[in-house]
Structure 1
Amino acid sequence: MDGIKYAVVTGKSLRLLGKNQYTSNVESGSTKTEIKYWVELFFGVKVIAMNSHRLSRKGRRMVPITGHTMHYRRIIITLPPGHSIPPLLEILEKRT
């Protein structure tokens, strides 16, 4: 479960909860099959679909060194109707 970093709380991710879709950031080296296996094993739910994309790197400058932020992959997991991921749902409900 080390691959999944944290749940994403944005306006779009909150709208996707109504469609039973959960958004989180994962390690950039993780594959979709690994992530699906982790979610199904750890949370005990069936994953219908999964979309992912790599986040763009943002530059950071600390004089005289120039660097980049950490590189993550964002995934959107779709679950069947009636199923949910309780820990992620609780985190998102506390933020709203």
Structure 2
Amino acid sequence: MANLQYFDVILRPVVTEKSMADMSEKKYTFLVNPEANKIQIREAVEKMFEGTKVKAVNTMNLDGKKKRRGMVFGKTAKTKKAIVTLTAESKEIEIFSAL
């Protein structure tokens, strides 16, 4: 397992129609480091965003897409997404409120 600090775990939020609709249920989607586990993701969210309490973390590993550039074939990098569900009494995450 990698020795990741909490600020290395969460890379950026995922902003799609589905993720924006899930915010009403206090579910937030993040792109995370592929080597991070659920416990590290939970700790990173609670440390980065004050007043939040994580109820559950669901993760999914996504393979890279096949790409072609001329006659050369390749793949994009693997990614990992995490859907973080907050408790009912938890504060909302402010970075999503401006969107």
Whether TM-score is above 0.5 comes out as yes
Q: CA deviation at 1:55?
A: 1.5
1:88 aligns with 2:96: yes
> How many Å separate the matches in 2 of 1:26 and 1:71?
11
Q: What secondary structure does 1:48 align onto?
A: strand
Gaps of 5+ in 1: none
Larger CA deviation: 28-37 vs 55-64: 55-64
Preserved contact between residue 27 and residue 84 of structure 2 (Cα < 8 Å): yes
With 57-66 and 3-12 compared, the bigger mean Cα shift is at 57-66
What 5-or-longer segments of structure 2 have no aligned partner? Answer: 1-6
Corresponding residue to 2:57 among 32, 39, 50:
50
Tell me the distance in 1 between the aligned counterparts of 2:33 and 2:68: 23
Matched, 1:17 2:10: no
Summarize deviations over 1:11-68 as a string: whole Å, max 9, x none: 1101101101100111111111111111111112110111111113201122343221
Identity across matched positions, percent:
31
1:41 corresponds in structure 2 to: 47
Query: TM-score by structure 1 length?
Result: 0.84
1:63 and 2:56 correspond: no
